[in-house]
Amino acid sequence: MLKTAIPVLHVSSSTAGEAFYCTKLGFRVESVYRPTEAQDPCYMSLVRDGATLHLSSFRDDGVPGSLVYLVVDDVDGLHRELLGRDVPIDLSPTDQSWGNREMYVRDSDRNKIAFVCPRRD
């Protein structure tokens, strides 16, 4: 039985990735693996509420410019929170024709994070 999926996003810099996802998006680091004392390559696990993301700067882990959907309770409330943290918003909360209200942000590696809430019309 399938339980959950954990997306792995490729980042070119673990320091920049951690700063964006933790400082700007409100995640916290759960674990970090570095095979040497250098900052990169690095593999880290991040969590916020019930969501887990993994970031990797290892060469063969993922590709920059990927997309992940994160289901949220309140896209508009999250939008206000992220604006207060000066997060650049690619797409402000928008009602989509397929039934979701969605907001998009991108990290410095052009990974798109779509925050999604099913509309309750």
Please tell me the total count of domains within the chain.
1
Residue 121 has pLDDT above 90, yes or no: no
Q: Is residue 3 part of a domain?
A: no
CATH number (domain holding residue 80): 3.10.180.10
- Rounded to an integer, what distance in angstroms lies between the CA atom of residue 45 and that of residue 99? 31
Q: Is residue 83 part of a domain?
A: yes
* pLDDT band of 120, cuts 50, 70, 90: confident
- Rounded to an integer, what distance in angstroms lies between the CA atom of residue 5 and that of residue 67? 14
**3 state DSSP class of 20:** helix
Mean pLDDT for all residues in the chain: 96
pLDDT digits (tens, 9 = 90+) for 78-100: 999 999 999 999 999 999 999 99
**Average confidence (pLDDT) over 32-38:** 97
Instruction: Count CA atoms closer than 13 A to 49's CA, side-chain side.
Output: 7
Q: Is residue 39 part of a domain?
A: yes
Q: What are phi and psi of 2, to 5 degrees?
A: -75, 140
Q: Is residue 1 part of a domain?
A: no
Looking up tokens 């590709």 gives 63
Q: Is residue 52 part of a domain?
A: yes
Q: What residue numbers bound the domain in which 46 lies?
A: 8-118
